[in-house]
Each structure stands twice: as structure tokens, then as C-alpha cells.
Amino acid sequence: MKTALLDILTQTLTGLYRSGVFSTDLLAKGITPQLTHTRDKQFGDLTCNIALLCAKLLQQNPREIAERIVEALPPLPMVKKIEIAGPGFINFYMRDDLSTQIIGQILSQGGEYGKSSYGSLERVHIEYVSANPTGPLHVGHGRGAAYGATLANILKASGFSVHSEYYVNDAGRQMDILAASVWCRYNEYCGESFPFPDNAYQGDYVKDIAKALFAKTGSHFQRKTEDIMAALSSVDKTNKDTYIDALIAYLKTTLGDEHYRELHQTGLNTLQNDIKDDLAQFGVTFDKWFSERSLADEGKIEKSLQDLQKTGYTYEQAGALWFKSTAFGDDKDRVLIRDNGQPTYFASDVAYQLDKYQRGFTKLINVFGADHHGYVPRLRAFLTALGKDTDGSFFAPLVQFAILWRGDEKVSMSTRSGEYVTLRELRNEVGNDATRFFYVMRKHEQHMDFDLTLAKSESNDNPVYYIQYAHARICSVKHQLAEKGLHHNVENGLAHVNLLSLQNEKDLMDSLGRFPELIILGAKNFETHGIPHYLRELASLFHTYYNSQQFLVDETTLRDARLCLVNAIQVVLQNGLSLLGVSAPDSM
């Protein structure tokens, strides 16, 4: 209904321009009509402020513009009345029977209700989580995982062709540091003892990997302490970066390429498998796990840098290759190839972005942590230098960190030992449903406080419990129907939905009708928080209805009509919770 009305308004604006009534093509200027639900029904059901938006451009009084738009509108079967209010708002009063028709539509479409073809012409690539496989996922990664998975679901429901990916940073210095960390702990199991690097990975999971490696290989990778110290004798051990780099270089030399690769792969495989398992249990899966190493192996980094050099936006200095990112507003130029010939993380990542374009995706969504806010302009600058329209195809939502609270007490996120609150620990404490729901309740760019006590509570204050309880109550109504030996005649109910005349019933039907547009709005703005807030409002309306009215009344037609409404509510609750990756239990 809303989509059809928007299409008519758009066609009307085009017609007014072509007929000379409007001097400017508003659509060409990016001014398009929008319809919003009114907060007060005395001002109609839907309102449009297009006249106010274009008044300055057309140099006309907005109320006069509104009058011309209304006069040019064709007959609207779905509209009972149109009024122009205030400075130029166009208010639409919809026919009363339209809201009741939504029940039949929902029951007919079932799990498909809410889906649309809005993005059917777009191929979307969404990359999220992509945490370095150097440790378990923590609660910060969890928020990115919940946001990315929910956004992917919303995009799919809006008709987009969606491909999800996890970018595995399996190359570079951090993975070398992980390999060195495992090797140091492994040597401790072999009876050797030497200073553990300050900037190596400190967590107990490193010891677990080393212990498993020792159990599997014995002393195969062992090196004597005196040999290690002799090899590193000239290294400045007070400089932690110099020390760890020298240790890595020693490892590569003493173990040789094959054995070092085995050590490197042991740490990578163990942690990547742990991450995959953790996410799978969280209901988060990917179409592809993309290897950073493959970019170098397949020559894609070299090719992307060659293409960039042809643009004139690179230069060499002190043996390194630099990108002139300051030409695109960056605060300083960025290194692409270090003086030792190794590509930077930045070089790998831009090659990865180009690879996405070359695979035919029309929109790239890169879900980054908020600490990457300075990194996004660099990527955008690189792609712009290569002629990519980053304004229309490259998007980088930044997800803020989550702060854990237990009532009024803030939960410590990390310790000096390198341990932190993991996603698995959070899920085990509050459950997948609460974790997924709480993560997407707030806008992704806003800081969030995650109240563990609230998430575990079985009370109306806990939004996920409140919504799931609404679904369980509907299931209980159906059980009661069966226990009483009654039958729900759906056709009879749909034929008498006009009996649903209570204000609460009208509010419920209006709410059900808004569900599809909320999904499109989420896809359009890359936002997920609208769905959980909508579901809570719908649950509140239902609980009020449940507490005030009897559904299984003696009057058959009224009972069937109310059960049709209740069934429609159940469908929407299920569809909405499914988008969030949250279950809809039959009982609580």
C-alpha cells in the first residue's frame, strides 16, 4: 500500500515537471517523496513533506505546491481522504478496510511476509567479523557478528543477492607473532627457558596450542636455550618490536620453510577452527572464508599496485613504495610496500576490495570495528584513485564496542595475562538468543551497555523474553483451542475480520502492516535496530490485547476472526525474530 502510493507520488512529480507546472525536475535533483506514519491519527495515517522539501528549489509557497500535487493525483482507491495541513504537509487517510486485509495477506504469505524485490538488481558483498585468527573471539567481535548476520538477513529479505565473507588474515606479521608465541610456549614444554616476548600473545590458548603440538611432534621443533640466546645475542631486547622480529627471523632460518609453515599453520588452523565453531554455534555462517594469503599467491596484490602506479599516485621513498593518499584528503601518505619488500596490510586489503569489484558485486559492505574509523578514508582514497565510484558502491558501517555490566557493576574486559571475556563465555552465560538480540538493539555506531543481569532475567523488562513470551502465549491459545475440542475456521475468520473493531485490534493490524517497510528501511540504511524495537512494540500491543480480551469466545465468527489476527501476529513475530537469528519458542 505504502509502496504503491509512493510510486504514484513519484509519477505525479514527473508529470508536473513535464507539463511545465514545476520548473525543475525534482527527482533529477535527488528530491524524492517520502511517506511516514503519523503519530496522531487525527492527521491521517500517512504524511508526506515533499512540498516543504522542494519549496526553496521551486521558489514557491510550500502549501501551494502541496495543493498542485494533490490536484494532479489520480484517483486513489486505497485513500479515503487527503488533507493539506500546516505549512504544506500532505496527509493521507487510508480506507478502514485496508488494515483488515493485511491479515489475509500475512496468513497467505506466511514466512514470505515482509520480503520484497526492493534490491533485486543489486549484488551485495558483505564482509564482517574478519578478526585476526590470533585468539578467540571476544565480546566486541560478537557485536560485529550479530550486526553483520542480521544485516545480511535484512538485505536478503529485501531482494538483494547477498554474498557474505570472512576475510582471514592468514598472512603478515601478526600471524608470524602467533607462530613465535606458540613456539616459545612449546619450547617450555620441551624444558627450555628463555624470556617470553612482551608483545607475544599471552593468553592460555597459546599454551593449549603449544601443548597439543608437543603431544603430536615431541621435541621435533625444539631448540636449545643457549642456541636461541646466542642467535639473538646482538638484538636489543629492550625494544620489544626488534626482539620479536629477530625471533621470527631466527625461527624461519632454523626451522626452514617447510617446518616453519607447519608451525605457522598449526596456530592458524587451531584458532580459525575455533572461530568457525564459535560463530556456527552463534548462528553465524559465511558463504566463503577468503584467504589473505591467496591474494599474494595469485598475484592480485602485485596487479593492484601496478594499476595504481599507472595513475601517478605512488612514489618511492627510502626503499618503500608509498600511496599519495593526501591527494584524497588523508592526513598523511601510506606505505604500500615496506623497505624489506613486504606488502603492508593496507596493500593486501585494497587488493581484496578490488577483487570484490572484479567478481561483479555492485555494493561492497565492509563491517569494521569503530577503531577502524581512520582506515576507511584510506581504502576509499585508493579505490577512488582507480576510478571506482565509492560513494555509490563502497560502504563501511563502524560497529562500536560493547561494555558488559552485571547490574550496576562494570565487568572487567581484560587482564594482564591476555585473557578477556570471550564471545563463547558470553553466550554460555546469557544464551544465544539474548546475545543476538541485545547486540542489535542499538544503532551499530552507538556505544552499547550490555546488562548481563537483564539479559538473563525472565521479566517484562527483558525485551527478548518479552517478545518470545508473546509468541509462546499465542501457542498456548492454540493448545487451549485443541483442548476444548474447538476448530479454527480460517476462511470464516477472514470473511469476518470486519468484526475486529476494537482500538487495540486496529492498532495491531496497523502495526502488522508496517513490517515490510521496516525491512526495506533497514536495508536502505544498513540498520538492524529497527526490527527489535518494532517486535517489542508489537509484543506490547499483543500482551495488552491478550490481557483485556477473550480469544476463545462462544461466538464462532468473532472467535475465528480474532484467531486469524492472533495467527498473523505469530507469523510476524516468527519472521522478525528469524531476521535477528533469535528463536521463537512454543513455551516459556
Examine the pLDDT at 416 and tell me if it is beyond 50: no
**What does pLDDT average to over the chain?**
92
What CATH number does domain 2-94 carry, 3.30.1360.70, 3.20.20.70, 3.30.360.10, 3.60.40.10?
3.30.1360.70
Cell of 474: 499465542
What's residue 264's pLDDT? 95
Rounded to an integer, the average pLDDT of 51-71 is 92
Examine the pLDDT at 542 and tell me if it is beyond 70: yes
Strand partners, 451: 405
What's residue 419's pLDDT? 61
* Confidence bin at 532 (pLDDT 50/70/90): very high
What tens digit of pLDDT does each residue of 373-386 get?
Answer: 888 988 999 999 98
What's residue 414's pLDDT? 59
What's residue 415's pLDDT? 44
Cβ neighbours for 13, distance < 8 A, ≥ 6 positions apart: 22, 26, 27, 33, 50, 69
Rounded to an integer, the average pLDDT of 294-303 is 94
Distance CA 209, CA 195 (A): 19
- Domain limits, the chain: 2-94, 124-166+284-399, 173-281, 459-580
* Confidence bin at 331 (pLDDT 50/70/90): confident
* Confidence bin at 418 (pLDDT 50/70/90): low
* Confidence bin at 330 (pLDDT 50/70/90): confident
What tens digit of pLDDT does each residue of 452-478 get?
Answer: 999 999 999 999 999 999 999 999 999
Rounded to an integer, the average pLDDT of 30-38 is 87
Examine the pLDDT at 490 and tell me if it is beyond 50: yes
Cα distances (angstroms) measured from residue 100 to each of 135, 147, 392, 508, 541: 53, 34, 39, 10, 16
Backbone dihedral region for residue 219 (phi beyond 0: left; psi -120 to 50: alpha; all else: beta) = alpha
Examine the pLDDT at 527 and tell me if it is beyond 90: yes
Architecture field, domain 459-580: Orthogonal Bundle (1.10)
Look up residue 250 and give its DSSP letter: H
pTM score, two decimals? 0.87
What percentage of the chain has pLDDT greater than the value 70? 99
Distance CA 44, CA 29 (A): 29
Examine the pLDDT at 2 and tell me if it is beyond 80: no
Residue 54, burial from CB neighbour count under 10 angstroms (0-12, 13-18, 19+): buried
Lowest mean pLDDT among 70-84, 92-106, 305-319: 92-106
Examine the pLDDT at 147 and tell me if it is beyond 80: yes
3-state class of 450 per DSSP?
Answer: strand
> Are the beta carbons of 527 and 365 closer than 8 angstroms?
no
- Output the DSSP codes for 292-331: HHHHHHTTHHHHHHHHHHHTT-EEEETTEEEE-GGGGT-S
Examine the pLDDT at 253 and tell me if it is beyond 60: yes
What's residue 76's pLDDT? 84
- Residues 124-166+284-399: name the CATH superfamily: HUPs (3.40.50.620)
